[in-house]
Chain A
Amino acid sequence: MEDWSIKELSSLLREKKTSSVEITTDYLQHIKKKNPEINAFITVDENRSLAQAKLADLKIQKGEGDVLTGVPIAQKDIFCAEDWLTTCGSKMLHNFIAPYDATVVKKFNEVGAVNIGKTNMDEFAMGSSNETSYFGGVKNPWDLTRVPGGSSGGSAAAIAARMCPGATATDTGGSIRQPASLCGLTGLKPTYGLVSRYGMIAFASSLDQAGPMAKSSEDCAMMMNVMAGFDPKDSTSIDHKKEDYTKNIDQPIEGLKIGLPKEYFADGLDSHVAKVIESAIDQYKKLGATIVDVSLPNTNLSIPVYYVLAPAEASSNLSRYDGVRYGHRTSQYDDLMDMYCKTRQEGFGEEVKRRILIGTYVLSAGYYDAYYLKAQQIRHLISEDFKKAFQSCDLIMGPTAPSTAFKANEKIDDPVTMYLQDIYTIATNLAGLPGMSIPAGFVNKLPVGIQIIGNYFDEARMLNVAHQFQKVTDWHKAIPEGALS
């Protein structure tokens, strides 16, 4: 298997040095070989993918090709794709064939990209290790005994094992950035509202945001050009001017002011990971950036706030899975209540049930003010922290995750420890800010990502800053042992 980037594939296709059918076939074969071990895909449909590839080749031949025409892209199984099984990693939707395309999927279809398969994920995007998936855990291609992170662990493992050059992902509390960090990839969670949520199965509506995951910042920028944009079908979509994210990616970054929040380097951060981040910061200094100290004083509150708000929204969002209209329904029941209870008992996994319970509790009469309302107030304070910090810097940097990939089964029985995986990523979701993770080095042969947090709609600059780093480093080019064979 070749280690193509999206950019390379785009050129090869447009120069007609290869065809989409050819590369799609290569990837499908590689998936056949690798996926049984990694479990990154829930659904692969060779016929459908090849049919799309054939259409893409026709388009290219006619000179109607777009930048991504013919390029295989995997879709996280949270996105509805017409006629594709769309499970969201849950037994509840194990039989759900979506009758429509999510806006993100539609946009990739419109430019002629090939859907190479639907990637595995934590059930309803709830998890940081991909172990909550009904379809089994995903293995980290860097070390098969370890997790790839979550919830977009399928997308991350698929790219890391070179089963696709790029994949869509979603991030509610770190679900793009943490797996990108744990699998040595580049992933971007855009500003809330920049990418449409239509057709993306909701976990926590006010926090969910889709974004690209690939090997490099350049590839992510190319994907962002397809994904971003106002969508009248999503009321929270923002009518932001259309940008070309690749345009200024080569600009030098001299004079860039990078803020380092002291709270992101405090207790809880693995010291080896800290060293990797520090050397990445040194690299940025060499590129002409200046470093300023900033403070995000409410960082320690972000996890408690998140675990009130996200479950509250989830408890309501997941009410529709009642066995009445689609998805799983229990086979035997006495009456309506029995049908509801058994269906939901059987259809949802432990973590999902835990969050539904928490969410239902915090919204209950008598508790709403103490939990939900209070959490909303603190959410506002967290946004204010960032606002203040951005008065003295252009971008904020720090670790993406507190550690490298951990062992499977290590944290799954200890939800609170698992939740701490997102300590550095959650705050940006609460504030609606864009966040990114790029490979910054290794600890014990396991990748470490550095996080870049930008101000609202500053994705172009973030991609530029990431690309400049990737021009002078090779971390993002590292390949897990045996991934290409």
Chain B
Amino acid sequence: MRRRPLVAPTPDLAAVVRVRLFAALRERAGWGERLIPLGASLTNAADLWRQLALDDSPAAGVGELPPSIRVAINQAFAAPDTPLRPGDEVAFLPPISGG
């Protein structure tokens, strides 16, 4: 099992993160996995959420990452403002319903 994403080690592709969506989020967005380049205005998961327009809420604060969505970086829970590094795997996790 690969715990780290596969990102080409060439300089122009190096500053990329792999974004993953699950369950209802994945269905709503219509995709489950994408490579997204990091940039000056895209440095953490909260930025990704806004720039990928993952929110569907018409309410106030539209576009912001809602507290019900948890973030995982490289398969461990992380704060949405954790700085991302090239090659990171960032996942947005809708409310969990296991067991």
A and B are interacting partners? no
Which residues of B are at the interface with A, using a C-beta cutoff of 8 A? none
Which residues of A are at the interface with B, using a C-beta cutoff of 8 A? none
